[in-house]
A and B are shown apart, each in its own frame.
Chain A
Amino acid sequence: MSQQQGSLIEINKVAKWFGEVVALSGVTVSIGPGLTALLGPNGAGKSSLIRILCGLTSPSQGSVRVMGMDPRTSNDVRRQLGVVPQNEKLPPGVNALEFVAMAGALQGLPDPGGAARTAIETVELDPDDKRHLSSYSKGMRQRVKIAQAIVHEPRILILDEPLNGLDPRQRSRMAQLFIRLGAEGRCVLVSSHVLEEVQELSSTVLVLAEGKLAAEGDFHAIRQLLDDRPHRIRLRSSDPLKLASGLMGSATVSAVQTAGENALIIDTWTVTPFRHRLPRLAQELGIHLLEIAPLDDDLESVFRYLVGRRSA
């Protein structure tokens, strides 16, 4: 496979299965310099894809090239690769400076101690902290993992849920760091299952769901896709039948059904106009709204919809 213009990572029809379980199926995508977010719910196959990209495991089918080479075997790739794995565990009995300096030394840096200090300070930790990593909080461990990934200033950074466990301030600072690294021309791939996190990080998004690439492109186009779908909402009110008849005449609602005492379930394709129309309608009819609950607004159902839409 020839390397596409500007892309550093080429994934071609990659599938991965573990026995009967299919983790990835027919994923084809190119990733170039800059920050790219890999979005998907838990179990979507993000970590499997990341492990394949790093060479930690082989694809069951298809091929992956990083800088035109096989990441499973190439030390040239490893020289240019920084990885934050999802696993929280860090070696016991060592402090942050020793751990990050070991990473620098194994990368062949001339001054691993100095590089480790710089990397640890970049993630806003204290390189002179002598405590063992086992005594660090989850957020501190996460930042140590980021430090060991950037210590050798790699050309490609792959980060598996790197913002997990960080408080909002740290999350924002680390997101800014990733954006800066991407703006410097590095290829930065950040996985997440949180839509808002991705919104802050990147304009380029890959959506992975049920092991398949469900969508890819600009964040706003993905956001539009996520919104432009049928929504199902449960309404509880003081007079459900009166509300149902009022809704039937509304252009924002495609279906209405009763659902037990005081409750209706409505389907709408235009959720924002519906949200504006509903309180006014209730006021006009003299009805009290007791509950408005989206029934399919979790990311998993959104991603399922995207997968179905792409394969239809």
Chain B
Amino acid sequence: MIALYRIMLRTSVTRGRLIAFLAGGALLDLIAYSIRVSDFNGREVDTFALLDLAALALYVPVVALVFSTSSLGDLAQDGTLVYVWLRPVARWKVVLVALAATLTVTLPLTLGPSWLAVLLSGASDKAFWAITASVVLANLAYCAVFTGFGLRVRHALIIGLGYVVLWEAGIASLGKGPAAISIRHYAESLFAHIGNQTVPGALEADQWPSVIVLVAVTVAGVVLTTVLLTRQDVA
């Protein structure tokens, strides 16, 4: 499975994707630094707002979307999935390897700029632990869901971007009803609880229910993707 992991990692990490997301992360850090130099008294609150709106609502789901829809989705689209599918390997193992390969890229790409943003803005240790926990769990949940989405849906990247922008960053902020079926808002609630800060528009779910929901979404995503992979017609 290590050989498969290495091949999936190499096929999903392209120079263009890395440059685009490193630039996005750098922009986040630039804004964080501007908080430090411009707003001494409110820097904790402003850092939390920035990490919520820029990192949790947009950057994390988009990074997860791009890499996880391509992990199995690109193989299915270009016809190379056959070289994995025809092997005597349990489907759930293939899905977990795809998820591991995706997280190998998405975690550093999202945690790195988030940690740097905390450092540059001069926010407290609480912000560091809050963003770490919420980014890790949000990554798991998004990647698990988007891996199956990429496998099953043509143009998953475009449709997924629509979902992230319209639902996760948009409609889900309009009330507790839509927020309850949004991954972002559980990550956001966890972020607010650990950081002991009020995040505007957060679902206000408790810490452990938020963790449980995000873990449950991850498990459900893996199970669903396994079923889809098993039943998939392979070109």
A residues lining the B interface (CB < 8 Å): 51, 54-58, 75-76, 78-79, 81, 83, 85, 87, 89-94, 98-99, 101-103, 105-108, 112, 148
Contact = CB atoms under 8 A, between A and B. Distances in A.
Main secondary structure, interface of B, reads helix
Contacts of B11: 91-94
24 contacts: A56-B82, A56-B85, A57-B233, A75-B89, A76-B88, A78-B87, A79-B88, A87-B82, A89-B80, A90-B80, A90-B83, A91-B10, A91-B75, A98-B3, A98-B6, A99-B7, A101-B3, A102-B4, A103-B83, A103-B87, A105-B4, A106-B87, A112-B3, A148-B83
Contacts of A93: 7, 10-11
A81 B85 CA distance: 12
Contacts of B85: 56
A181 to B, nearest CB: 18
Given A56-B82, A57-B233, A89-B80, A107 B7 contact: no
B134 to A, nearest CB: 32
A57 B10 CA distance: 28
A284 to B, nearest CB: 59
A7 to B, nearest CB: 21
B7 A78 contact: no
B234 interface: yes
B3 A106 contact: yes
Interface of B: 1-4, 6-7, 10-11, 75, 78-80, 82-89, 233-235
Considering residues B2, B3, B234, which has the most beta carbons from chain A within 10 angstroms of its beta carbon?
B3
Nearest to A101: B3
Contacts of B3: 98, 101-102, 105-106, 112
B125 to A, nearest CB: 39
Nearest to A112: B3
A91 B88 contact: no
A134 B83 CA distance: 16
Contacts of A92: 10-11
B89 A106 contact: yes
Contact of B82 (A75, A83, A107): A83
A103 B86 CA distance: 10
Closest 5 CB pairs of A and B: A106-B87, A87-B79, A75-B88, A93-B10, A102-B3
B189 to A, nearest CB: 39
A91 B4 contact: no
A98 B74 CA distance: 19
B234 A57 contact: yes
A217 to B, nearest CB: 30
A90 B75 CA distance: 9
A94 B7 CA distance: 7
Contact of B79 (A76, A85, A103, A107): A85
A51 to B, nearest CB: 8
